A and B are shown apart, each in its own frame.
Chain A
Amino acid sequence: MLGIAEGITMGSDPVIAATIEVLFRTEHRRVLATVVRLVNDFDLAEDAVQEAFLAAADQWPQQGIPVHPVAWLVSSARFKAIDHLRRNSKLRVLSADLVRRVEATAADHRDVSEQDIQDDHLRLILTCCHPALDLQVQTALTLREVCGLTTEAIAAAFLVPPATMAQRIVRGKAKIRDAGIPFLIPGADELPLRIEAVLAVCYLVFNEGYSASSGASHTCADLSREAIRLGRLVCELCPDAEGFGLLALMLLHESRREARIDAAGDIILLEEQDRSLWNHTFIAEAKALLTRARAAEPIGGYTIQAAISAVHASAATASATDWTQMVAWYDLLVQATPTPVVELNRSVAIAMRDGPEVGLKLLTPLQATLAQYHLFHAAHADLLRRAGRRTESEVAYRRALKLVQQEPERRFLMRRLRELH
């Protein structure tokens, strides 16, 4: 698999080799998506696409680069798949029907149109994120089949042994095959629900990369980048307000990557970040996406969260934050997702607008439900600190410290506790 790109560069015309390398990088998964549809088998398609790229490296130096290289690769992969099926005598008996079908589609699809390829790409994403697959399996399959990450890289990012991840992927492919999960774009009534599932996988991948980025692993930053790439792809293939909202949200989070951790690996809170370190290209792109996302009715949860994040991004300094606008977005978010954690965040925003004592009153009814949530006690402690109630603040920080799991967060709370004195 990794040898393909190397194999191409060795001994062939450098211009053609470079072209194939670019094609491999940019079109590989799209070619795969179409071939999966044609042969209805992930592993067979994977092998056939690899061979098609090798065939290109072998043939294009003599024959020249075809006018439609992607169509050439699809067509070549399809014939490689037929060869595979014919060569494997056991399969020939079992899949005579499949051979016939692949041959029939070979005649039908002499020219694969750009639209077909686009649709197949979306089909591949929807199949990998099918609700009948476990969320962990959806995530693994999407990263493997859509993003083209190696099993080892995915395993490393999720901190599981490669064998476990490999088994998850095998299980997913077996279920797709044996349970008859179709390679289809569902009808308009069903599509929004399915896109929602795709966005959930996308956000999960992003968060995995974002929250783990305090560690030493570089693969985690890669996961966030993959999620953004996937988000862009989904927006392109199936424009959807919440898709734009999620992409904006991810870009806004990502824009602060350099500013949120100090040299010692400790968390720097938003209000203390060096805002010149923020990536303003990402922020500008996110704001443009938000304008499109906000046109939808009703505004979805990702879009509201992105809008909240954008209020921070628009403030030149922490003290210049527009808390009135912030509270208005939190009011919407509470309506869209009425959870105690959202209530907590809204209370903090109100406290920033109207003063800590107002916020503290709002926290009281949440105390029972969020008693085991360390960030409740951290927020509580912070408001008490701002209100000048030092002793009570100390008690709340100690409660938060008892519940906190992640090391950087623990160090942050310890620092805050020390600063009280």
Chain B
Amino acid sequence: MKYMLLIYSPELAWTHDEWTACTIASGKICQELHAQGRFIAAAPLHPVATAASVRVRNGTPLITAGPFAETTEQLGGFFLIDVANLDEAMATALRLPSAQKGTVEIRPVAHLEGLPPDHFDQRATDHRDHSRYMLLCYDDEQYWNKQGPAALQAAHREAVQLAIHLSAREHYVSASPLHPIATATSVRIRQGKRLVTDGPFAETREFLGGYYLIDARDLNDAIAIAAQHPGARVGTVEVRRIVNLPDSQ
């Protein structure tokens, strides 16, 4: 099963040295997971100060600076792993250095038929004029429950079309919906003790329902792509630039 590990921590709690040490330690875990065939992708994100949030209402894109939700702890990075079950995902999450300082939210990735295959090569860094972005799609689950399965399927078809379109233009890296928020598990370590909670890191009305990883020329380009996501018409798409690490793949 595929899992997305979302790392939340207060950005200000890290000194530059701590951040670097954490990145190196995380990199080692990535290599280990890779050797075991469990690694898909991982990266830190640029601080939320560089984020943009995109909504489309009545056909008009509304762009705001900053993240989707103002919280004291921010999404600072992610791991995408392929392991046997939740126990293995939890064991991996608890090993991450960030679990000591922040919280790791574990989300099972849902399967969506028709998505193009992942494309995690170094395209973004090879082309100096491109950067890699993560589009975080926040949805109101209750809205979709009310609309019924047909509406959700139509939105999924549209999302697949967008992925295929991006793939054709070499913008596509990876995308997937996540299982509903009720399947989330959050873990952290405090004073050497594991703390496991049923549920997401933060209780908000809109939850992370899926993601796209894309290569785009710049933030404007990434925002334009985000505005085409069907979820932007109902929820919010947060655009976050990924930190390119020399050995993050």
Q: Identify the A interface with B (CB < 8 A).
A: 130-134, 137, 171, 174-175, 178-182, 184, 186, 193
Contact = CB atoms under 8 A, between A and B. Distances in A.
A171 B184 CA distance: 12
Interface residues of B, number: 21
B180 A178 contact: yes
A132 B196 contact: yes
Contacts of B84: 180, 182
Nearest to B198: A134
Given A132-B196, A179-B108, A184 B183 contact: no
Interface string B171-204: 0000000011011110000000010101100000
List the 9 closest pairs (A to B, CB-CB), nearest first.
Answer: A182-B85, A134-B198, A132-B185, A179-B183, A131-B196, A180-B85, A180-B1, A178-B183, A178-B179
A184 B85 contact: yes
A184 B199 CA distance: 22
B90 interface: yes
Contacts of A193: 194
22 contacts: A130-B86, A132-B196, A132-B198, A133-B198, A171-B182, A174-B183, A175-B182, A175-B183, A178-B108, A178-B110, A178-B179, A178-B180, A179-B179, A179-B184, A179-B185, A180-B85, A180-B89, A180-B108, A181-B85, A182-B84, A184-B85, A193-B194
B87 interface: yes
Contact of B86 (A134, A171, A174, A182): A182
Contacts of B194: 193
Interface in B1-41: 1, 3
Contacts of B179: 178-179
Nearest to A131: B196
A385 B85 CA distance: 59
A132 B86 contact: yes
A41 to B, nearest CB: 15
Contacts of A175: 182-183, 198
Interface of A is mostly: loop
Contacts of A134: 198-199
Given A131-B196, A132-B86, A171-B182, 7 more contacts: A134-B199, A175-B182, A178-B110, A178-B180, A180-B89, A181-B86, A193-B194
A175 B179 CA distance: 9
B4 to A, nearest CB: 12
A181 B90 CA distance: 10
Nearest to B110: A178
Interface in B47-71: none
A134 B85 CA distance: 18
A131 B91 CA distance: 12
A137 B89 contact: no
A178 B194 CA distance: 23
A180 B90 CA distance: 11
Most chain B beta-carbon neighbours within 10 Å: one of A130, A179, A184: A179
A336 to B, nearest CB: 15
Contacts of B90: 132
Contacts of B180: 178
A184 B198 contact: no
A182 B110 CA distance: 17
A182 B198 contact: no
Interface string B90-109: 10000000000000001010
Nearest to B107: A179
B156 to A, nearest CB: 16
A134 B184 CA distance: 11
Contacts of A174: 182-183
Q: Which of B182, B194, B198, B199 has the most C-beta atoms of chain A within 10 angstroms of its own C-beta?
A: B198
A184 B84 CA distance: 11
Among A132, A137, A175, A193, the one with the most B-chain Cβ atoms within 10 Å of its Cβ is A132
B160 to A, nearest CB: 18
Contacts of B87: 181-182, 184, 186
Contacts of A179: 86, 106, 108, 179, 183-185
A90 to B, nearest CB: 13
A131 B182 CA distance: 14
B17 to A, nearest CB: 32
A179 B110 CA distance: 10
A131 B185 CA distance: 9
A133 B183 CA distance: 9
Nearest to B2: A180
A217 B53 CA distance: 54
Nearest to A197: B196
Contacts of A178: 108, 110, 179-180, 183
Nearest to A182: B85
